């Protein structure tokens, strides 16, 4: 995320970097966000190279079959346990699974993207505040699998900035920045 000649956005460099990382994460997660015009123009300079990287490495993987240990479950979805040497132990089955194995250049792209985006955890409305029902969202996988295929035939310009109007408090121009 190094850039020469950038807007300062009235923040220190660490705050600015955190702001842009957070907005980039939210833009990729939600597809659109509302922010000020200056922030949106800076944000575009962060997000577009990520999407370009995802497009280039979209198909750069091989599928591999691996044996995985999976806990056996009963009809209620709970793990089956049996007593071994006086201890209750979960019973595991070995299952063949197909996984995507990134080739080196795609792995590098994945790590570069992860250096910009924050981890996203989805908390369901019903169990708010509970750790049990949370889901970690893999935004890099979303970039590779959902967003990149849409822009394959497009050379740049993956975001659109639409002016909404001045903000009530300080009359800063508010805009909607969205993935095209």
In a domain, 154, yes or no: yes
Same domain, yes or no: 31 and 86 = no
Distance CA 117, CA 131 (A): 22
Last residue of a domain, one of 71, 102, 133: 102
| pLDDT for 130 | 67
Same domain, yes or no: 92 and 127 = no
Same domain, yes or no: 108 and 30 = yes
Same domain, yes or no: 85 and 124 = no
- The residues facing 150 across adjacent strands are none
Same domain, yes or no: 171 and 143 = yes
User: What's 78-90 look like in SS3?
Assistant: CECEEEECCEEEE
Distance CA 16, CA 23 (A): 11
3 state DSSP class of 102: strand
In a domain, 134, yes or no: yes
Please report, for the domain that includes residue 141, its CATH number: 3.90.1030.10
Same domain, yes or no: 152 and 167 = yes
Same domain, yes or no: 84 and 130 = no
One digit per residue, the tens of pLDDT, for the chain of length 180 reads 655 688 899 999 999 999 999 999 999 999 999 999 999 999 999 999 999 999 999 998 999 999 999 888 888 888 888 888 888 888 888 999 999 899 999 999 999 999 999 999 888 777 666 677 788 999 999 999 999 999 999 998 999 999 999 999 999 999 999 998
Verdict on whether the full-model pTM lies above 0.95: no
In a domain, 7, yes or no: no
Domain span at 73 = 61-102
Same domain, yes or no: 120 and 160 = yes
| Other beta carbons within 10 Å of 131 | 8
Distance CA 32, CA 142 (A): 15
Q: Which residues, in sequence order, are CB contacts of 31 under 8 Å at separation 6+?
A: 178, 179
Number of separate domains in the chain: 2
């Amino acid at each position: 995320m190094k850039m020469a000649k950038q807007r300062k956005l009235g923040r220190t460099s660490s705050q600015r970097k955190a702001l842009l990382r957070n907005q980039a994460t939210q833009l990729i997660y939600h597809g659109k966000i509302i922010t000020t015009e200056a922030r949106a123009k800076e944000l575009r300079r962060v997000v577009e190279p990520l999407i370009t990287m995802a497009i280039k490495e979209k198909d750069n993987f091989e599928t591999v079959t691996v044996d995985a240990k999976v806990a056996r479950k009963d009809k209620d979805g709970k793990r089956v346990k049996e007593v071994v040497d006086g201890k209750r132990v979960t019973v595991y089955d070995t299952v063949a699974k197909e996984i995507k194995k990134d080739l080196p250049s795609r792995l590098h792209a994945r790590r570069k993207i992860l250096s910009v985006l924050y981890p996203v955890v989805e908390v369901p409305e019903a169990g708010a505040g509970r750790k049990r029902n949370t889901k970690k969202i893999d935004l890099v996988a979303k970039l590779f699998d959902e967003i990149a295929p849409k822009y394959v035939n497009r050379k740049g310009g993956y975001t659109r900035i639409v002016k909404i109007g001045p903000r009530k408090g300080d009359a800063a121009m508010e805009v909607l920045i969205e993935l095209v």
